[in-house]
């Protein structure tokens, strides 16, 4: 289980407030609940999790890793093996592909966007580079967690796999339309 950074930020305050009475503890609990709700609302926007109930999204949230990237920091490089799906909580990310002597920006993604979903189904090299444009906080679902999820939760796995098939079909259609 991964703790939210909010817990770390308020750990000392909680120790102090615990000795001062229960009312402040309730306020702290409320702040954590609001942050969880914000994260769940972002997960609801990820096509991969479309159709999952809030309680299942809360279950998913527990094992996602939260990581912060500084401006210009590399998230992954073109050519490296994909290992995770990334969901942007705050900040922005540039997806770029190397060309002949230059670098083409494929996308500039903002909070609520996600990328890297193909890494959940194969272990092929990334076709582009991702880097933080500014200070960026992301939730990360590693392939190993995704594999465990698929094996351990039939309700979640059937919905997520169906959504993944829809995404792949959309990619194929888009690629076909661009070529014709």
pLDDT of residue 175: 79
Nearest Cα residue to 86 out of 97, 98, 95: 95
Q: What percent of the chain has pLDDT over 70?
A: 82
- Secondary element (H or E) of residue 89: strand 84-90
Q: 69, 136 in Cβ contact below 8 A?
A: yes
Which structural domain range is residue 137 located in?
5-179
Positive or negative, the CA dihedral 86, 63, 150, 42 is negative
DSSP string, 115-170: E-GGGGT--PBPSSEEEESSSEEEEEEEHHHHHHHHHH-HHHHHHHHHHHHHHHHH
Confidence band for 32, pLDDT divided at 50, 70 and 90: low
CA 4 to each of CA 33, 66, 136: distance values in angstroms, whole numbers, following the listed order: 11, 7, 15
Residue-wise pLDDT tens digits, 57-88:
988 888 899 999 999 999 999 999 999 999 99
- So what's the pLDDT on residue 35? 82
Euclidean distance between CA atoms 122 and 116, whole angstroms: 11
How many Å apart are CA 91 and CA 96, to the nearest integer? 17
What CATH number is given to the structural domain containing 85? 2.60.120.10
Among 101, 121, 111, residue whose Cα is nearest residue 171: 121
Least confident window among 38-42, 100-104, 165-169: 100-104
Per the structure, the count of domains in the chain is 1
Whether 118 shows a pLDDT value over 90: the answer reads no
**Could you give the 3-state DSSP secondary structure of residue 50?**
coil
Distance CA 144, CA 147 (A): 5
> Residue 100 has which token pair?
């002949």
Higher pLDDT, 102 or 72: 72
Which tens digit of pLDDT belongs to each residue from 128-159? 999 999 999 999 999 999 899 888 888 888 99
């Amino acid at each position: 289980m991964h703790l939210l950074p909010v817990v770390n930020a308020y750990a000392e305050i909680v120790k102090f407030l615990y000795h001062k009475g229960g009312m402040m503890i309730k306020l702290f609990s409320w702040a954590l609940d609001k942050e969880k709700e914000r994260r769940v609302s972002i997960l609801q926007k990820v096509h991969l999790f479309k159709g999952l109930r809030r309680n299942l999204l809360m279950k998913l949230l527990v094992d996602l890793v939260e990581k912060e990237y500084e401006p210009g920091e590399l998230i992954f490089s073109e050519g490296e093996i994909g290992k995770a799906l990334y969901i942007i909580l705050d900040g922005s990310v540039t997806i770029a592909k190397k060309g002949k002597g230059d670098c083409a920006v494929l996308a500039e993604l903002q909070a609520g966007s996600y990328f890297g979903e193909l890494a959940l189904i194969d272990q092929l090299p990334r076709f582009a580079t991702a880097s933080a444009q500014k200070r960026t906080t992301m939730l990360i679902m590693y392939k190993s967690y995704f594999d465990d999820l698929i094996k351990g939760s039939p309700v979640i796995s059937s919905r997520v796999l169906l959504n993944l098939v829809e995404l792949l079909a959309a990619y194929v259609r888009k690629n076909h339309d661009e070529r014709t």
